[in-house]
Structures are given as C-alpha cells and as structure tokens.
Amino acid sequence: MSQEPGPSTKKPGDERAPCSVCGTSHRIRTLLRTTNLRPGLAAYLACGRDEGWVETARICRSCQAHGRHDMLVEQLESERGQLSAVEREIADKAARHLTLAEDIEREFAATTTWGQRLADRVSQIGGSWPFVIWFFAVMLVWVVVNGVMFTSNAFDPYPFILLNLLLSCLAAVQAPIIMMSQNRMNQRDRRQADQDFRVNLKAEIEVATLHEKVDHLLHAQWNRMVELQQLQLDLLQELARRRGSR
C-alpha cells in the first residue's frame, strides 16, 4: 500500500542554489549577494559578465576570498609593477585578514646558541667604559711595576715585549668575537626591517580597504535615508489629501 508523501520538512534556510562564480551548490543562507559587497570587489567580479549581473548574483565565501585576493594583487601590480614573492604573500594574507606581526626578539633568543651568547657578552663588556678603565688601569700597573719599581728584576722590562704580545693576542681574539656578535645583530636588524615592511604594506592595504568599506556604508546609509524621507513625504501627502477630502 503506497503512502502519500508528507509535507516537506526542509527548512527555509536549507534551500540550495549555485554560486554565480564557481557554480558549486551551497545553502542560500551561506551565499552572499554581490549587492552587499564593496563596490570595487563587486565591479571586479562582474568584469566581463552580463549587465545587471551584480544585482542578481550570489557568490560563496570562497569565491569572495579568491576575488579579494586577485583584486589586491592586480591593484598592487598596477602601483608597483611586477610583485615579489613577499608582496604576493602579504596580499594573500591581507585578503584573508591574517596577522603578520611576529616577536623577532623572542625568536632570536630561542635560537641563540651558547657561542652566540658568549659573543654577545664579550661584545657587551668590551664596548663599555668599565672595560676601558680597567684596561688602562692594568696597563698602568704593568708599566709601573716593570719600569719603575723593579728595574733590575722586572719580568717584562722596557720595551714591554710581553705586554705587546698580550695586547696583540687580546685584539686578535676580541675582534672576531665582536664581529660575530655584530653579524648576528645585523641579521636581526634585517629581519626586523623585513617584518616592518610586511606590516606597513599590509596596513596600507587594510587602510585602503577600510576607506572603501566606510564609503560604501555611507553611500548605502544615505540612499536608505533618502528612501525613508521619501516614504515620510508620501505619507504626509496622503494624510493631507485625506484631511482635504473631509
């Protein structure tokens, strides 16, 4: 015995429709109307399509993200020419609203070896006034002891050959250690400069996008206010006609 089909249990939000860009079927409530997009993005997506496509099209969020990415890349290429890999990466992250800021100091501190820490410490001590003062104090004591107090039994008589040897060895060892520390600091500074460039470029893109969004909202609100005022005028005119007809 056949049963009659019951009423449909599909909820109003479960209806499906294809995306106007990729053609993939999605729930209607997950699709975005192109009229609600920023005018620049809507115009970019409508490029090469039929007239009136923006007023009727619905797109999925994946196509919205890809369209935003492609539009940002084209805008950067028109401003900067051929983009580098870094600029393309920044455009991709800006389109997906991903963060770029990193703690460079913590990263370098986590990857510092024992030798690098020793080089930093030697560079820090060797480039300080206490080291210079102690250095001249030791030299003065050395000269006084070997040149004045013990003129006959001095362990390093004038012209202080042993002192010259020690100073030469100190300079020969200290200079490469300080250079190792400076090279590491230069590497950190280059990484910080690259990070600053990434953040600044993404900030420029986000600020430009924000200006466009605000302009779109102001334009939409203005049109809505005009419609409401026109509706109020129509109601007032209707009330005036009713009072005049009495």
pLDDT digits 0-9 by tens, 104-154: 778 787 888 888 888 888 888 888 899 999 999 999 998 888 877 766 777
Q: What is the mean pLDDT of residues 161-179?
A: 90
Q: What is the pLDDT of residue 2?
A: 43
pLDDT over threshold 90, residue 199 = no
pLDDT tens by residue, 70-103: 777 777 777 666 666 667 777 777 766 667 777 7
Res 223 pLDDT > 90:
no
Peptide bond into 159 cis (omega under 30): yes
Cβ within 8 Å of residue 65, ≥6 positions away: 95, 96
DSSP per-residue string spanning 131-183: HHHHHHHHHHHHHHIIIII-SSS-SS-TTTHHHHHHHHHHHHHHHHHHHHHHH
| For residues 193-201, average pLDDT | 83
Note whether 198 and 86 are within 8 A (CB). yes
Q: Where are the alpha helices (H) located in 81-147, listed in sequence order? A: 85-95, 104-110, 114-126, 129-144
> Given this model, what pLDDT does residue 81 score?
67
What is the tens place of the pLDDT at every residue in 5-49?
444 455 555 688 888 788 888 887 778 777 777 777 777 777 777
Mean pLDDT of 194-219: 76
Residue 69, pLDDT > 90, answer no
3-class SS at 17?
A: strand
Rg, C-alpha atoms of the chain: 37
Is it the case that residue 178 has pLDDT exceeding 80? Answer: yes
The per-residue pLDDT for 151 is 66
SS3 11: coil
How buried is residue 169: exposed, middle or buried, by Cβ count under 10 Å (0-12/13-18/19+)? exposed
pLDDT of residue 234: 74
For the entire predicted model, the pTM comes to: 0.52
Average per-residue pLDDT in the chain?
A: 78
Per-residue model confidence (pLDDT) at position 11: 56
